[in-house]
Structure 1
Amino acid sequence: MNIPDISSGIGVLDKAAVILGALAAGPATLAGLVSATGLARPTAHRLATALERHRLVGRDLHGRFVLGPRLAELSAAAGEDLLLTAAGPVLTSLRDTTGESAQLYRRQGEVRICVAAAERTSGLRDIVPVGSTLPMKAGSAAQVLLAWEDPERYHHGLQGARFTATALSGVRRRGWAQSIGEREPGMASVSAPVRDPAHRVVAALTVTGPIQRLTRNPGARLAQAAIDAAERLTEAIRHR
């Protein structure tokens, strides 16, 4: 594919922008970057590794190039991330409605990152500080972030996971996930997907608390509240 005509007159920046644009579609090998950008292989490798040094590009467990965490940090700092802007009041409302802690997770390669949270102010709770990195192998948020993935990432994600393909089929059918002691003993959670205008899942909104309060069927109490809150965030993105 030819490089799009986005010339700024500074060639190296234009080519770096093309690489970042290609990675927005998902992880890519070096060969994949060359195919997607039209750049020469040495050029694509040199720029991708330079962007990696600045954390604008990262690597997944397969060594493929992915968008790096610095992009999310810059977006939030610039106030341009409408999802995070909208997340604060939605999470606070969800916490107040349910009486439990609420978090928002995004996937970054083989982990998920807590990008916003509203913690319960008292009593037993599951405190997940913003910026925390958690595995994609356990928890209702991990289920939501994996359930609608493309086949390759989906099947890879199931390897070593504490949930099964049958469980994820149920997540897709219901539109929400629950976990009981998957990530941390004694804790339960319910998550629902947040989607972008193209209907892709871009985040998981989660409500967490101790099993003694949420019971061993937390979805019965919290699923609708989580779905409603996730839909409000989806609408915030859709109407940007």
Structure 2
Amino acid sequence: MNAKPTKTGNLLVLTKITAILDSFTLREPRLSLSQIRDRTGLPQSTVQRLVTNLVDQGFLDRDDDCYRIGMRMAFWASPATRGVPALDLVSPVLSKLRDLTGESTALYIAEGTYRVCIALAETHAALRREMHVGKIIPLHIGSAGHVLLAWQPELMDRILESPLEPMTEESLTAPDRLQNKVREARRLGYSISAGEREDGASGLSAPVFDSSARIYGAVSILGPSSRMPVEKCEGWVEDLLEAAENMTRVLGGRFPGETGDPSS
């Protein structure tokens, strides 16, 4: 007779614990009790009790007056992705972002002075930007290129050693304009571009980092400018940043500066 209530109670506790753990993000790895309470909507007494238990079990670590995900959780997380190809890990994130925005989403990496599309979730709309896995584009062209260069200053210097060839009239071919755009991408944490790779096309991109806090790639939303004016792109920034963070998480990555990384 008591089994069902006990099971239900256990599930409720697990739901609350999950809410607490989900409060922590790569952008906000340290949270106070009041911040956890605000993010979960749980009573202060419940938060304090569960957080204390989570610290005791190693699921959370105390960091001065704040808390962060415990190293025990990191130990458990390692086997979860071992042996799973990186593209299999990020593809669900791309698909979710595609379904949310209705536009194609892609992941690019830098190869030499070019960027290469290594994963793609295509829009279901009939009108779409041409893109395919394996597509090669000069690094100085478009939002994904700006993001990839923003965290690789040596590569940026290499790009500037040669003339910046245009793909459209909107392509950034003046070194100072490209440098300003790349600096802006680094400052904001994302980049928006329009018409640089092809006329009437827009894109916005954000960085994905690896376990050494080095940039792994750039996740992008791409589509026709008629459906993606600047205002629409700006409205998707938080969704894009969340996808980039989720990709960084599943790849076992971390943000520069998260633990005093000098590349911050």
CA distance in 2, matches of 1:109, 1:166: 21
Give percent identity, aligned residues only: 36
CA distance in 2, matches of 1:149, 1:215: 28
With structure 2 as the length reference, what TM-score do the two structures score?
0.57
Aligned to 1:189: 203
Aligned to 1:234: 248
Unpaired stretches in structure 2, ≥5 consecutive residues: 1-81, 166-171, 254-264
Aligned to 2:70: none
What does residue range 188-227 of structure 1 map to in structure 2 within 5 Å?
188-227=202-241
Shift of 1:122: 2.0
Give per-residue Cα distances to partners, 1:63-105, cap 9 Å, x unaligned: xxxxxxxxxxxxxxxx946431112111100000011000010
Task: Sort the Cα spacing of 1:128 and 1:231 in 2 relative to 1 into closer, same or farther, 3 A.
Answer: same
CA-based RMSD: 2.0
Contact kept? 1:214, 1:221, Cα under 8 Å: no
Give per-residue Cα distances to partners, 1:115-148, cap 9 Å, x unaligned: 1100011231113111111211211111111111
Letter in 2 for 1:137: H
CA distance in 1, matches of 2:187, 2:103: 25
Letter in 1 for 2:155: R
Letter in 1 for 2:164: G
Matched, 1:106 2:109: yes
Aligned to 1:156: 158
Contact kept? 2:106, 2:219, Cα under 8 Å: yes
Contact kept? 1:189, 1:208, Cα under 8 Å: yes
Letter in 1 for 2:106: Q
Letter in 2 for 1:106: I
What does residue range 66-215 of structure 1 map to in structure 2 within 5 Å?
80=83, 82-150=85-153, 152-158=154-160, 159-160=163-164, 162=172, 163-215=177-229
Letter in 1 for 2:185: V
SS in 1 for 2:212: coil
Letter in 1 for 2:159: G
Aligned to 1:26: none
Unpaired stretches in structure 1, ≥5 consecutive residues: 1-78
CA distance in 1, matches of 2:204, 2:251: 22
With structure 1 as the length reference, what TM-score do the two structures score?
0.62
Letter in 2 for 1:200: R
Give per-residue Cα distances to partners, 1:147-191, cap 9 Å, x unaligned: 1113x3212324517152111111111100111101111000000
Structure showing greater radius of gyration is 2
Contact kept? 1:177, 1:219, Cα under 8 Å: no
Shift of 1:221: 2.0
SS in 2 for 1:213: coil
CA distance in 1, matches of 2:111, 2:198: 21
Letter in 2 for 1:153: L
CA distance in 1, matches of 2:189, 2:210: 15
Deviation beyond 3 Å, 4+ runs, structure 1: 79-82, 216-219
Aligned to 1:49: none
